[in-house]
Amino acid sequence: MPHLSWSDQEEVDGGGSRSNPERFLGQNYEELQRDFVKHRARFIDDKFPPNASSIGEGLLTSSELEQVEWIRPTKLVADPQLVVDGESRFDLAQGELGNCWFLAAICAITFQQDLVDEIIPGGQSFREDYVGIFHFRFWRFGRWVDVVIDDKLPTIDGRLIFVHCKTCNEFWPALLEKAYAKVCGSYADLNGGLISEALCDFTGGVFLSLALKENHPEHWNLMYRAKKYKSLMGCGSHHGATSANTALPNGIVEGHAYTVTGVTQVMSDGQPIKLVRLLNPWGHKEWNGDWSDRSPLWGSVHKEERTRLLDSKDNGEFWMSIKDFCISFANVEICCLSPAFLDGSSPESWITARYEGQWDEKTGGGSMERTQSFWTNPQYRVKIPAIETHDGDGQGFNLLVSLMQKPNNRHRRHVHNEHIGFSVFVIPPELKAQKVFPAQFFSSSAPVARSKGVSDSRQVEEFLRLKPGYYLIVPFTYKPNTPASFLITLYSK
């Protein structure tokens, strides 16, 4: 099994790299910290002020907003701590905000201490040189950003409104949520989303969105390999017919994000049983069917293994069979540093190329239906070498194309996503030296691969299996002359 560290992949050491992140909104944590220590003052963030604008519209009623008081942890409890006994997936309790997608991602990162240490930089506390300022780091559209916040948290009647810790004097989840709310525009901008978005913003990694199918033989194998490669995983339950977040009789909450915390196989009466462990970020409401905490099926498992795997606490975490998992959940999101988990290959056998680009009146040619303008879209080349592929579990995938559109508004809920996609063409050997391919090339060449249609998602990606040779990748918006910026990342074997 390869050792993967979230610190292993380093971008060019310039602004926006892991080691040198951009200062979000120009705020320099070190300078601000020194300045407020020198003047013995408490920091108040004028870029994300402790008032109704930072909570956002539509989240609280006007009467609730009038009751909100922004209080520092030092005023809430006698002995505030950033972290108590390490960051744990069981620390969290969701507040009055529909951001289970974000909380499920937080639970996932607690399994990777090196990743947690990047997101929550060290040297921060409520004791030494405390002036009410903290900072956190996220990956945003190709660049790492360092986000400064003050520690004033929104409360009503002395209680935190949004995410909080079960340990009353531990505040890392609440402050991390505030920093992410600042990045996205407000707390209201975190209301609703996909776990893949948060996993990507926490890691800058590759992600695979897998639509689950009942009795599919490969789903568990892929998840098992992904776990061996230290991947982060989450999943979403099916949406209900009426409203989201309704608990079914079997304990599964409809339209809800969960963290995948374990993938294993046990022997039950001599038969192998494939299991998946999940965590409801609410910290309660668990599956109560086969292989749940109190299922009699655990009596058929060897005592030592049962003791190692089973925890009967009502903490939101539970096991279920892969069969029940695929029935109860719609999709699983897998995020890792490298696509190597697909086929069990070495992470070093994959290389990455990342490009920033844009569509405008000159480079927005629209989809292939626009035969005369399609060629004006940005064009990118990739070489697929002749190498031995693993034609087993990974299905011989040797290229991942990821196309992410950048936001046109700081406020996440006001971002307008265009319908985007990409097409892949073979470059004939005699045209290897061609710099720009004209309309005639595309009118006589059919794509050998493409994204699954066009989508207004933040990101579209496809794992491809291509023969050795040279290829042209053309990202596009469905409508021509549509102004938008994008990030395209190519992972090739």
Domain 206-335: give its CATH superfamily: Cysteine proteinases (3.90.70.10)
What whole-number distance in Å separates Cα of residue 214 and Cα of residue 423?
A: 30
| Buried b / exposed e along 470-483 (16+ C-beta atoms within 10 A) | bbbbbbbbbebbbe
Of 169, 173, 172, residue with least CA distance to 82: 172
- pLDDT (average), residues 12-34: 86
Q: 40-55, pLDDT tens digit by residue?
A: 999 999 999 999 999 9
What contacts 75, CB < 8 A, 6 or more positions away? none
pLDDT, position 357: 94
Q: Which residues of 264-274 are buried (b: 16+ CB within 10 A; e: fewer)?
A: bebebeeeebb
Is residue 369 within 8 Å of residue 173, measured between CB atoms?
A: no
For residue 245, is pLDDT > 80? no
* Average pLDDT score over residue span 275-290: 92
Work out the angle between the directed axes of helices 100-109 and 172-184 (0-180°, nearest 10).
Answer: 120
pLDDT of 484 reads 94
Beta bridge partners of 278: 260, 318
**Selected residue with higher pLDDT from 209 and 274:** 274
Pairing state of beta strands 143-150 and 22-23? parallel
* Start-to-end CA span in the chain (Å): 18
Q: Which of 107, 200, 219, 280 is catalytic?
A: 280
Judge whether 100 counts as a catalytic residue: yes
Q: Which amino acid is at 139?
A: W
pLDDT computed for residue 10 by the predictor: 41
Counting residues of the chain whose pLDDT is more than 70, the rounded percentage is 94
Q: Which residue in 164, 256, 336, 398 is the catalytic one?
A: 256
As beta bridge partners, residue 405 has 486
Give dist(CA 158, CA 176) in Å, integer.
Answer: 20
| Percent of the chain whose predicted confidence (pLDDT) is above 90 | 67
Instruction: Give the separation between CA 461 and CA 180, rounded to whole angstroms.
Output: 24
Would residue 280 show up in a list of annotated catalytic residues for this protein? yes
CA pair distance 209, 335, nearest whole angstrom: 9
pLDDT at residue 489, rounded to an integer: 93
pLDDT tens figures, 53-93: 999 998 889 999 999 999 999 999 999 999 887 777 877 77
Instruction: Show Cβ contacts of residue 72 under 8 Å, excluding neighbours closer than 6 positions.
Output: 42, 132, 150, 151, 152, 153
What number is the average pLDDT over the span 437-463? 92
Exactly one of 99, 100, 191, 326 is catalytic; which is it?
A: 100
Report the topology of domain 344-492: Jelly Rolls (2.60.120)
* CATH fold match for the domains 206-335 and 344-492: no
Q: DSSP string of 391-446? A: -STTTT--EEEEEEEPPSSSSGGG--PPPEEEEEEEE-GGGTT-SS--HHHHHS--
The domain segmentation of the chain, as residue ranges, is 22-192, 206-335, 344-492
Mean pLDDT of 374-402: 79
Beta bridge mates, 164: 93
Residue type, 79: D
The total number of residues shown for the chain amounts to 493
CB atoms closer than 10 angstroms to residue 366: 20
What pLDDT, in 10s, does the model give residues 181-233? 999 999 999 988 889 899 999 998 888 888 999 888 789 999 999 999 989 99
Q: 33 exposed, middle or buried (CB, 10 Å; 0-12, 13-18, 19+)?
A: buried
